Amino acid sequence: MIRFINAVLANYDLFILMYFITLNFFYFYLTFLAAERLISSKIRNRVRITQERDFALIPDVAIIVPAHNEEPTINDSVRSFLKVDYPKLNVFVVNDGSEDNTLEVLKKRFNLFEVPIAHGGEIETKPVRAIYKSTLDRRLTVIDKENGGKSDALNAGLNHSSDRLFCCMDADTIIERDSIYKLVRPYLERDSNTIAIGGVIRVANGCRVEKGEIREARLPKSYIVTMQVIEYIRSFLCGRVGWSRLLNSILIISGAFGLFDRKTVVEAGGYRNDCVGEDMELVVRLHKMMCEKKRAYKMFFLPDPVCWTQVPDNLTDLASQRNRWQRGLIQTLMLHWNMIGNPKYGMAGIVGMPFHVIFELMSPVIELSGYVLTAVSFIFGWLDFEFVFLFFALAILLNIMISLFSFLLEEFTVKKFDRPADIAWLFLCAIIENVGYRQLNLFFRLTATFNFFYKGNNWGNMKRATFAESVVADPLAKLVNSPLKVVAQKDFPAPAGEDEINLPRFCASAKPLNGPQKCGPSGAPRIGLER
């Protein structure tokens, strides 16, 4: 009997070891694919834009922002969205039954006035109570509705927009000014059949923010937040960019920053209200619909469009977030189980779905069992020290190598952090996150699996903090009752020796003028406020 137990434990430990090796080598493969894309993207971004194509060819884009109790961050976020350098832009903020002063902040900062409600819509949602427009910027629309959850708020935004494309954004995010253009670029390609594109999300905690823009990327003082900075670099710059290279196999485009074809999403039924992981579920459902209707399509992820978001800065909020992510993963895989390993659904069915079942859904249980059984086997003398040491050393070392490679890739390509102290601390965190923090996330995911089957699927709340402002006064507040005219000027001309491509040049404007936009002759990028 003892020999049988020893044989079972030895074989299971060997299985666990091979599981970790397979998982990490697949991550290495994704990282290699991501490195190739990042390097080529960096070269491509040196190409400047010339105004040789009519603005009529540029697709309209709606930024849809679901907001529930976002009072501390909503002002900065909306200002960030309105500063986006894109000529055909509308911003829809959907106040989803907030219990704080989110709506009052918007009314005060953007001088909102109520307009008639356009009844009807292609997707059923909770009742809309009021619709507001801004006297400061006519591109801004605020929809006030009864609380129905994030998915319901996004669907309400879809109902009230008529733009060809829409970008879903969280209300605690700040978008870089050229990010929408970078996301839209694939739609400008000839014969493009792109239906969804994801962009990079970075951690805003600790960064210096002025007037709705990230002025300087800084690391936060919190250890928990810094660990998440490493996670986001590894997940977005390496994981999702790598998945994007495996044609149409990407299953997650974050709900905090993704661009979609509105007509296709509405045809698919919009966002599901009964799914806590609505962003992943929508992407998987789009894969399913397009394959079943045998339509050619593309979904991918770009490494250079960037938005910044707040992440949990305490264990309670972190546990709630990771719990929600894991439950959303389980729910999506269960809803679309018939796609798993099914060649009918292309690379999403053959590679994407099986990977998420084996290495994402099952990994918390397999990893925990590996730790427990290996430790128990060693204590009772069923395994020798060499095997136990090899098991833990390989598991930790491979994870450290992936984190370090992701960090180095970030430094040599996008490079957002400039301060030597920040770089050194990130490098150290890429090493130490695998002992303690990784196991903490393992516990959160195991708890989520239990909660999925025995408790509800509520979203949960995360306490918001204001973005770090270096300027206290809000210039918009002073301009609420004064006439405002905005003059938008062109981007820098391309320096001599740099290549040019025939794509539209975008002028930023805080408010469209009555009549043609004025672009100054100097070529300097600025927004001038003229009374």
The whole-number pLDDT of residue 495 equals 32
Q: Could you tell me the residue range of the domain that residue 277 belongs to?
A: 22-360
Q: Is 310:73 a contact under the CB 8 Å cutoff?
A: yes
Structure-token pair, residue 47: 């190409």
* Whether the predicted pLDDT of 68 surpasses 90: yes
Cα distances (Å, whole numbers) of residue 428 to 61, 311, 339, 380, 431: 41, 20, 40, 35, 5
Residues with Cβ < 8 Å from 359, sequence gap 6 or more?
A: 23, 26
- The lowest-confidence range among 102-111, 145-154, 386-395 is 386-395
Rounded average pLDDT over 137-153: 95
Residue 476 maps to a domain: no
Residue 94 maps to a domain: yes
Q: Is 195:298 a contact under the CB 8 Å cutoff?
A: yes
Rounded average pLDDT over 357-385: 82
Question: What is the rounded distance in angstroms from the CA atom of residue 441 to the CA atom of residue 460?
Answer: 17
The whole-number pLDDT of residue 219 equals 87
- Mean of the per-residue pLDDT values for the chain? 79
Residue 255 maps to a domain: yes
Report residue 167's pLDDT band, with 50, 70 and 90 as the boundaries.
very high
Residue 8 maps to a domain: no
Counting other chains too, the contacts that 430-433 makes at CB distance below 8 Å and 24 or more residues apart are 430/230, 430/400, 430/403, 430/404, 430/406, 431/400, 431/403, 431/404, 433/227, 433/230, 433/231, 433/403
Residue 389 maps to a domain: no
Rounded average pLDDT over 347-370: 91
Question: What is the rounded distance in angstroms from the CA atom of residue 53 to the CA atom of residue 226?
Answer: 43
Q: Is 118 exposed, middle or buried (0-12, 13-18, 19+ CB in 10 A)?
A: exposed
pLDDT: which is higher, 501 or 442: 442
Report residue 104's pLDDT band, with 50, 70 and 90 as the boundaries.
very high
Domains in the chain, number: 1
Report residue 56's pLDDT band, with 50, 70 and 90 as the boundaries.
low
* Whether the predicted pLDDT of 468 surpasses 70: no
Which domain CATH number covers 31? 3.90.550.10
* Whether the predicted pLDDT of 406 surpasses 90: no
Residue 413 maps to a domain: no
Residue 84 maps to a domain: yes
Rounded average pLDDT over 369-386: 76
Q: Please measure the distance between the N-terminal and C-terminal CA atoms of the chain and give it in whole angstroms.
A: 89
Question: Please, which residues bridge with residue 298 across strands?
Answer: 194
- The lowest-confidence range among 195-199, 341-345, 385-389, 450-454 is 385-389
The whole-number pLDDT of residue 457 equals 54
Q: Is 97 exposed, middle or buried (0-12, 13-18, 19+ CB in 10 A)?
A: buried
pLDDT tens figures, 78-94 = 998 999 989 899 999 99
Question: What is the rounded distance in angstroms from the CA atom of residue 85 to the CA atom of residue 82?
Answer: 9
DSSP 466-490: ---BS--S-HHHHHTTS--EEEE-P
pTM of the full structure:
0.81
Residue 140 maps to a domain: yes
The whole-number pLDDT of residue 92 equals 97
Question: What is the rounded distance in angstroms from the CA atom of residue 175 to the CA atom of residue 308?
Answer: 6
Helices then strands, counting H and E runs in the chain, come out as 17, 16
* Whether the predicted pLDDT of 51 surpasses 70: no
* Whether the predicted pLDDT of 508 surpasses 60: no
In single-letter form, the type of residue at position 247 comes to: L
The whole-number pLDDT of residue 460 equals 54
CA atoms within 13 A on the CB side of 490: 14
pLDDT: which is higher, 50 or 402: 402
Rounded average pLDDT over 350-367: 92
Question: What is the rounded distance in angstroms from the CA atom of residue 286 to the CA atom of residue 229?
Answer: 30
